Amino acid sequence: MKLSLGKWLLPVYSALALLFLMIPIGYTFVYSFNDSHKSNITWQGFTFDKWLNVCNVQNGVVCQAFGNSLFIGAVATVIATTLGTMIAIALVRYRFKFRSQTSLLLFLPMATPEVVLGAGLAAQFLSIGVPKDMLTIILAHTMFCISFVVVTVKARVASLDPALEEAGRDLYGSAVQVFARITFPLLLPGILAAALLSFALSFDDFIITNFNSGAVTTFPKYIYISAARGIPAEANVLASAVFILALVVVVTVQVSGAARARRLAKLS
- Interacting residues with other proteins between 89 and 148 (CB under 8 A): 89-96, 102-117, 119-124, 126-127, 139-140, 142-143, 146-148
| 234 Cβ contact partners less than 8 Å away, ≥ 6 residues apart | 50, 53, 54, 55, 56, 57, 62, 63
**In whole angstroms, how close is the CB of 5 to other proteins at the nearest point?**
14
52 or 128, CB closer to other proteins?
A: 128
Tell me which residue of 43, 17, 187, 210 sits closest to 9, measured CA to CA: 17
Site for other proteins in 207-246 (CB under 8 A): 207, 210-211, 219-220, 223-224, 227-228, 231, 235-236, 239-240, 242-243, 246
**Residue 17 engages other proteins in binding (rule: CB under 8 A):** yes
**In whole angstroms, how close is the CB of 18 to other proteins at the nearest point?**
5
Q: Which of 158, 164, 167, 180 binds other proteins (CB under 8 A)?
A: 158
Compute and round to an integer the Cα radius of gyration of the chain. Answer: 23
**Residue 4 engages other proteins in binding (rule: CB under 8 A):** no
**In whole angstroms, how close is the CB of 226 to other proteins at the nearest point?**
9
Cβ–Cβ < 8 Å for 122, 211 = yes
* C-alpha–C-alpha distance, residues 197 and 186, integer Å: 19
Sequential DSSP letters for 124-164: HHHHTTPPPSHHHHHHHHHHHHHHHHHHHHHHHHHTS-HHH
* C-alpha–C-alpha distance, residues 204 and 214, integer Å: 18
Q: Which of 256, 258, 259, 260 binds other proteins (CB under 8 A)?
A: 258
Other CB atoms within 10 Å distance of the CB of residue 6: 9
**In whole angstroms, how close is the CB of 61 to other proteins at the nearest point?**
16
**In whole angstroms, how close is the CB of 113 to other proteins at the nearest point?**
3
Tell me which residue of 240, 247, 249 sits closest to 54, measured CA to CA: 240
116 or 185, CB closer to other proteins?
A: 116
β-sheet bridge partners, residue 34: 46
Angle at 68 between CA 67 and CA 70, to 5 degrees: 65
**Binding flags for other proteins, 39-68, as an x/- string (CB under 8 A):** --xx--------------------------
Cβ–Cβ < 8 Å for 34, 44 = yes
With CB under 8 A as the rule, give the number of residues binding other proteins. Answer: 98
Q: Which of 2, 3, 11, 170 binds other proteins (CB under 8 A)?
A: 11
Site for other proteins in 160-179 (CB under 8 A): 162
Cβ–Cβ < 8 Å for 73, 65 = no
71 or 206, CB closer to other proteins?
A: 206
Q: Which of 164, 180, 247, 259 binds other proteins (CB under 8 A)?
A: 247
